Amino acid sequence: MLKKELEIFTFEDLLNHFPIRHLDRTKVQLIGQVSPAMDMVQVKGILLSVELIGERRAKRLVAQLRDQSGIIELTWFQGITWVQKSLVIGQPYLAFGKLGFFLGRPQLSHPEMEQVVDGAAPVKSFLEPVYPVTEKLKARGLNGRALAKLTQQLFLVLEQKDLPEILPESIIAAERLISRWQAYQFIHFPVQQDNYLKAVTRLKFEELFIAQVRLGMLRSVRHRYSRGVTFARVGEAFNTFFHEHLPFNLTGAQKRVLKEIRQDMGSGRQMNRLLQGDVGSGKTIVALMAMLIAIDNGAQSCIMAPTEILAKQHYNQFSKLLEPMGIKVGLLTGSTKAAERKKVLASLADGSTSIIVGTHALIEDAVRFHQLGLAVIDEQHKFGVAQRARLWEKSSFPPHMLVMTATPIPRTLAMTAYGDLDYSVIDELPPGRTPVLTVHRLDDARPQVMDFIRSEIALGRQVYFIFPLIEESEKLQYEDLMQGYENVKAWFPEPQYWISMVHGRMNAEQKEVNMQRFVNQDTQIMVSTTVIEVGVNVPNASVMVIESAEKFGLSQLHQLRGRVGRGSEKSYCILLSGSQVGKDAKDRLSVMCSTTDGFKIAEKDLELRGPGDIQGTRQSGALNFRLANISEDRGLLELARGYAEQILEADHRLEMPVHLPLKQFLQIGKAKGEWSKIS
Ligand code: ADP
Ligand code: MG
């Protein structure tokens, strides 16, 4: 039963089934001194009376306990017969329970009673653990108390050698951690609160440290053994582009990241790099220049985008920049027509196309490269690991991989969820951008909002209206969107205003036409769902209105807002909502109004939602810590990471004698010792 319900299979599992809280029965209060500020209290006195009161459902057992300072009432509503039988009037008892007051008189409901024998109060010498149990276990009579007994018995037979230290002595000393053995004792049976806190810190650190050492070893194995194409030179294509065609100066961050990529690709091993950069930070040009290095080394590249709109946009940008240099760029998406597709595939296979831009269509079997050297994945969160892996198979040597994401991931999360990838950040926006001004307005301020939008359009700017449509199939939301479209149209009638609309139920062609009209400034307004979210670039658009903004998550709001503020004009993001907005939603909206820093927003998101919900990390398994929480324990995580790196740097195979216990622990996975299974 333990096995199924709590996944407790071994003694070790039992030790790792940690209490959720402790009860303090180490003290005895004077009855005359209990106060409403107390929660659980323990008192000692003589049992004066025990009576049954009330009828049927209102039936309860009421007793009185007296010490030298006063009298307290004890009540039971359940198990009455049994309790009544076990109590002896006139005897001394310890009573422990939840304190309440009725008409100013103190009461304990359902107290636990313990008879005091020989006048000695059996006050506990440690805090009593309360363990989480499931309803099923409870129903079978196995409660937290029974688990506590089991654990206590286990400690009677355990010795220090059964829970040997695994952390190097130097770390323990430097961080003043308590020993592993002591930590396990104290997390279950602390003598006082301080013991417990020390135990938790020690075990959290251990958990995070072990995870970081594991990831670090994975990284180092990959670094040492994965072979890849060596891009030894930076040649004509790169240099010509850099000196003659680059439309702006690179930011410091872009240069730094390019250098990291160059080093990776020249190292002889396969690059596996995650590139993070806030929306608009200029990741595309970095990818393009990495591809030029591939060209200089005789290899082809591909860049895979999550939507057709985005693929098309990259294609236009790439071909505009590169065709003057005689570099051939191709486009392949789901809607590429058969004849065109055949041509594209042929030129990829014979190597005459150097760069191919596309969507998922790129991973189909029919796509063959002459020599694929670099694969770039844009907007990483829309692609799974499996899809990435299919790109590898397209080459005799695994191509270098550059995975780009505009969803900023908090540092701590990146360290744990993607800790086995190398990791670059563009943490600087190109110069000359004015941050988007974000405001929250209630629905009834609509007339003023519309006036403002009219004035922006009069200045030649364009506007987005975003409606929540999470599942493309949901009919209700679809109708909402159509209603929204009609409303916008009523405020902005033809022929003075023209409106584009893009949503998930349209086919690629319809989307494309509408998008193109907006890009060409034939329409001033774009009504859309979140399909517009990723990557779309219309620098002339200066206002984004988000309808029912309370329904969006933080990172989504941030992504959407990234669609404006791309040109030199001052841009605005207006979050509309009704007046009834929940606390979390209110928090989200106010975060949006207070910062445009994607990393700050991501941290906040992590705080509000917890790590389990952050996009793409749910199944990673890297976040399943028993005690640690990467949001709350950031400091500890950074510390653990630092030590893990330090150790692996000095001894990447953990062969030094001081690292042997750690190595053993990692190899066994779980240090089983000599413990037998719980049968
Ligand atoms: P994202 O990182 O969101 O993909 P993009 O690569 O689309 O951002 O870049 C956003 C805009 O900034 C593009 O119009 C791009 O041409 C421009 N840009 C990129 N780098 C620079 C730079 N160093 N200086 C000026 N503009 C830049
Ligand atoms: Mg982009």
Domains of the chain, by residue range, sit at 2-154, 159-214+647-679, 236-426, 437-613
Does domain 2-154 fall under CATH 1.10.132.20? My reply is no
Q: State the pLDDT at residue 435.
A: 84
Best of 242, 248, 404, 433 to mutate for ligand 1, by most ligand atoms within 8 A of CB?
Answer: 248
Task: Pick the ligand that lies closest to the CA of residue 282.
Answer: 1
What is the distance in A from the centroid of ligand 1 to the CA of 284? 7
Collect all residues with Cβ–Cβ distance below 8 Å to 246 and sequence separation of at least 6. Answer: 285
67: β partners: 70
Gap from CA of 316 to ligand 1 centroid (Å):
14
568 CA from centroid of ligand 2 (Å) = 18
Ligand 1 centroid to residue 282 C-alpha, Å = 3
The finding on whether 598 has its CB within 6 A of some atom of ligand 1 is no
**Shortest CA distance to 463 belongs to which of 523, 512, 510?**
523
CATH of domain 236-426: 3.40.50.300
Instruction: Please identify every residue whose CB atom is under 5 Å from ligand 2, which is an ion.
Output: 535
Distances from the Cα of 102 to the Cαs of 65, 105, 109, 488, in angstroms? Answer: 16, 5, 11, 60
Residue 396 φ/ψ region, left for φ over 0, alpha for ψ in the -120 to 50 degree band, beta for the rest: alpha
| Dist. CA 535 → ligand 2 center (Å) | 5
Q: How far is the CA of 248 from the centre of ligand 1 (A)?
A: 9
Residue 382 pLDDT: 57
Q: From ligand 1's centre to the CA of 254, what distance in Å?
A: 10
pLDDT of residue 397: 74
537, 313 Cβ separation under 8 angstroms: yes
Q: What is the pLDDT of residue 496?
A: 93
Name the residue of 519, 537, 559, 596 to mutate for ligand 1: max ligand atoms within 8 A of Cβ: 537
285 lines ligand 1 (CB under 6 A): yes
Check: CB of residue 640 under 8 Å from CB of residue 208: yes
Tell whether ligand 1 has an atom less than 6 A from the beta carbon of residue 251. Answer: yes
* Ligand 1 and 279: CB distance under 6 A: yes
544: phi then psi, degrees, rounded to nearest 5? -120, 120
Contact 133, 142 (CB under 8 A): yes
Specify the residue with its C-alpha closest to ligand 1, atom 1.
280
pTM for the model stands at 0.66
Ligand 1 proximity of 248 Cβ (cutoff 6 Å): yes
Tell me, using a 6 A CB cutoff, whether residue 276 lines ligand 1.
no
Q: Whose CA is nearest to atom 18 of ligand 1?
A: 282
Which residues share a beta bridge with 465?
527, 545
Contact between 231 and 266 (Cβ < 8 Å): yes
Phi, psi (degrees; rounded to nearest 5) at 121: -80, 120
Q: What is the rounded distance in angstroms from the CA atom of residue 286 to the CA atom of residue 251?
A: 10
Question: Going by CA atoms, what residue is nearest to atom 20 of ligand 1?
Answer: 282
Which stretches of the chain score pLDDT less than 50?
Answer: 614-622, 670-679
With a 6 Å cutoff on the Cβ, whether 555 touches ligand 1 is no
CB distance 254 to ligand 1 below 6 Å: yes
pLDDT digits (tens, 9 = 90+) for 610-621: 665 544 444 444
Q: Nearest Cα to 541, choosing from 512, 519, 511, 516?
A: 519
Q: What pLDDT does 481 receive?
A: 84
**Torsion of Cα atoms, 338 then 342 then 348 then 350, to 10°:** 180
CATH number of 437-613: 3.40.50.300
Do the domains at 2-154 and 236-426 have one common CATH topology? no
Check pocket membership of 537 for ligand 1, CB cut-off 6 A.
Answer: yes
For residue 676, what pLDDT is reported?
29
Ligand 2 centre to CA of 283 (Å) is 6
In short, whether 558's Cβ falls inside 6 Å of ligand 1 is no
- Ligand 1 lined by 405 (C-beta under 6 Å): no
> For the segment 92-150, what is each residue's pLDDT rounded down to a tens digit?
999 999 999 988 899 999 998 888 887 666 667 788 888 887 777 777 767 777 888 88
Q: What is the DSSP string of 137-165?
A: HHHTT--HHHHHHHHHHHHHH--GGGS--
Q: Is the CB of 541 under 6 A from ligand 1?
A: no
What spacing in Å lies between the alpha carbon of 430 and ligand 1's midpoint? Answer: 7
| Residues near 642 by beta carbon (within 8 Å), at least 6 away in sequence | none
Report the DSSP beta bridge partners of residue 10.
Answer: 677
Q: What is the pLDDT of residues 326-361, one digit of tens each?
A: 999 999 999 899 999 999 999 999 999 999 999 989
Is residue 283 lining ligand 1, measured as CB closer than 6 Å? yes
Report d(CA 230, CA 242) in Å as an integer.
21
For the CA of 307, the nearest ligand: 2
In 548-597, alpha helices (H)? 554-561, 583-594
pLDDT at position 475: 67
